[in-house]
A = this chain, B = another copy of it.
Amino acid sequence: MSSQRRAVVLLSGGLDSAVCASIARHEGLALYALTVDYGQRHRAELDAATNIAGAVHVERHLVLPVDLTRWGGSALTGSEPVPTDRTAQQIGSDIPITYVPARNTIFLALAMGWAETLGTGDIYIGAHSLDYSGYPDCRPEYFSAFEQLATLATKAGVEESSRWRIHAPLLRMMKTEIVQRGAELCVPFALTRSCYQPSKSGAACGRCDACRIRLRAFDAAGLTDPVTYETNTVAVR
């Protein structure tokens, strides 16, 4: 393990970060997975992240509590309801209320702290093009700006002993391609959780943006999503 190159990977428990982690693992990296428990209403993500971390054989998995509900500002951390009636045209056309202020910057800053301690400048994040059209902190230029910031921010940057690289291997993929790549890498899709508001039994709602995007991607890839959906969601597929 000592000679293996290390990377910190942000692992949310969703499908994208699971595929991202699998890609990094496939590249031969020793992975240090960071999951941020930010008070997200979709708590099932956290258990999913732990299961995925085991399946992807990470060196270490940390679940770090950072309570972003203290100031809210998002349907994922506050009391506003998650929208369940958005059309394919609406999804990706504006910044949705599920946007969490500064989320990716907070996640990347934390990953940077751990990475510097581990002696690596490599961070993997599962952001992708659909996020990019809705969430500002998923744009390619955002990640370039973060790399520059990281170089100025750290001992590693000052000593020029390493370079910071924010890897977002899914960035220019459509969701269907992500599902296809995940299938090639044998990502355990059944362990992943995408729904913003699963039922108490853990079934996905099938109606929030995250479910709609996921279901369409599996459908287009000609695959069956192995997670359980509430029975009334078949119509929206």
Contacts and interface: CB of A to CB of B under 8 A. Distances in A.
Contacts of A148: 145, 148
Contacts of A99: 155
Contact of A113 (B64, B106, B139): B106
A224 to B, nearest CB: 36
Contact of A95 (B73, B141, B145, B155): B155
Contacts of A56: none
Interface residues of A, number: 45
- Chain A interface, >50% SS class: helix
Contact of A137 (B65, B118, B137, B154): B154
A62 to B, nearest CB: 6
Contacts of A113: 68, 71, 73, 100-103, 105-106
Contacts of A145: 145, 148-149, 152-153
A146 B106 CA distance: 12
A157 interface: yes
A230 interface: no
A110 interface: yes
A137 B156 CA distance: 11
B136 A117 contact: no
Q: Which 7 A-B pairs have the closest CB atoms?
A: A73-B117, A102-B113, A101-B116, A105-B109, A142-B152, A101-B113, A106-B109
Interface of A: 62, 64-68, 70-73, 95, 99-106, 108-110, 112-114, 116-118, 136-137, 139, 141-142, 145-146, 148-150, 152-155, 157-159
7 contacts: A65-B66, A102-B153, A106-B109, A108-B109, A109-B109, A145-B148, A145-B149
